[in-house]
Structure 1
Amino acid sequence: MLKIKDLNVFYEGIQALRNITLEVNEGEIVTLIGANGAGKTSTLRAISGLIPFKSGEIYFQDKPLKSIPAHKLVALGIGHVPEGRKIFANLTVRENLELGAYLRKDKDGIKEDYEMIYEKFPRLKERINQMAGTLSGGEQQMLAMGRALMNRPKILLLDEPSMGLAPLVVKSIFDIIQEINKGGTTVLLVEQNAHMALSIAHRAYVLETGSIVLSGEASKLLQDDKVRSAYLGE
Structure 2
Amino acid sequence: MLEVEGLSVNYGAIRALRQVTFSIAKGEIVALIGANGAGKSTILNTISGIVPAAAGKINFLGKDLTKTPPHRIVELGICQVPEGRRVFARMSVQENLEMGAYTRTDSREVSRDLDAIYQRFPRLGERRKQPARTLSGGEQQMLAMGRALMARPKLLLLDEPSMGLAPMLVETIFGIIQEISKEGTTILLVEQNANMALGIADRGYVLETGEVVVQGPAAELAANPEVRKAYLGE
Provide the TM-score with structure 2 as the length reference: 0.99
Whole-Å Cα distance in 2 between the matches of residues 145 and 48 of structure 1?
Answer: 16
Name the structure 2 match of 1:137: 137
- Partner Cα distance (1:121, 1:217) in 2: 31
Tell me the alpha carbon deviations over residues 43-74 of structure 1, each in whole angstroms, 9 at most, x when there is no partner: 00010010111110000001001121111111
Mapping of residues 205-224 of structure 1, within 5 Å: 205-224=205-224
Which 4+ residue blocks in structure 1 deviate beyond 3 angstroms? none
SS at match of 1:178: helix
Any idea what the Cα deviations from partners look like across 1:138-176, whole Å, max 9, x if unmatched?
A: 000000000000010000000000000000000000000
Distance between the aligned counterparts of 2:124 and 2:107, measured in 1?
20
Give 2:53's aligned residue. 53
Aligned to 1:186: 186
Answering whether residue 163 of structure 2 is matched by residue 163 of structure 1, we say yes
The alignment partner of 1:67 has SS state of coil
Partner secondary structure for residue 117 of structure 2:
helix
**Cα distance between partner residues in 1 of 2:106 and 2:184:** 20
- 1:203 maps to what in 2? 203
- Whole-Å Cα distance in 1 between the matches of residues 112 and 219 of structure 2? 35
AA matched with 1:203: R
Distance 2:124 2:63 in 1: 35
Matched residues in 1 for 2:49 and 2:148: separation?
16
Q: Could you say which residue in structure 2 is the equivalent of 1:71?
A: 71
Structure 2: tracts of 5 or more residues without a match = none
Q: Does 1:103 align with 2:139?
A: no
Task: Provide the residue aligned with 1:148 in structure 2.
Answer: 148
Q: Which amino acid aligns with 1:147?
A: R
TM-score by structure 1 length? 0.99
Identity, % of aligned positions: 60
Unaligned runs of 5+ in 1: none
